[in-house]
Amino acid sequence: MHYRNRPHRKCYQNGFLNTCCSAGSVILESPVHAVMEGDTVTLRCREKQTSSNLTADFFKDGHIMESSSTENMTIHNVSKSDEGLYKCRISGVGESPESWLTVRGETLKGPNTLNLYLFFPHSAD
């Protein structure tokens, strides 16, 4: 497990999951590595001490995106415009630290290409 410290914040990286904690009691779980355009991403907001489903508000760059009673927010068909700082808030409990979501350009998808080079001996005249 790898972690990065920031003022009043600790982020743990375990495999593909980034868990950011602070002195508060709300945790936002997000991907550690960049996601590709077209992928589906799920962010999870939870309270440190309990595992019960609480309604969570999700924010991107300071603007509310969605309220969820399942503690999850799923972004389908991710695009570059989804890149940014995400955080969540559980009413009556608190707010998570912000976590950066990086989106990379779409990889080339298409038929495999085979390059065939034919070499003919040069005849000396």
Q: What is the pLDDT of residues 73-110, one digit of tens each?
A: 999 999 999 999 999 999 888 999 999 999 998 655 54
59/124: higher pLDDT: 59
How many angstroms from the chain centroid is the CA of residue 121?
55
What's the pLDDT tens digit per position in 12-62? 444 444 445 545 689 898 988 899 999 999 999 988 877 677 889 999 999
What is residue 3's predicted lDDT score, i.e. its pLDDT?
34
- Identify the structural domains of the chain with CATH numbers, from first to last: 2-104 (2.60.40.10)
CA neighbor of 69 nearest in space, from 88, 95, 48: 88
CA neighbor of 103 nearest in space, from 31, 18, 42, 36: 36
Are 103 and 88 in contact, with CB atoms under 8 Å apart? Answer: no
Long-range Cβ pairs for the range 49-52 (8 Å, 24+): 49/25
Amino acid 103 reads: V
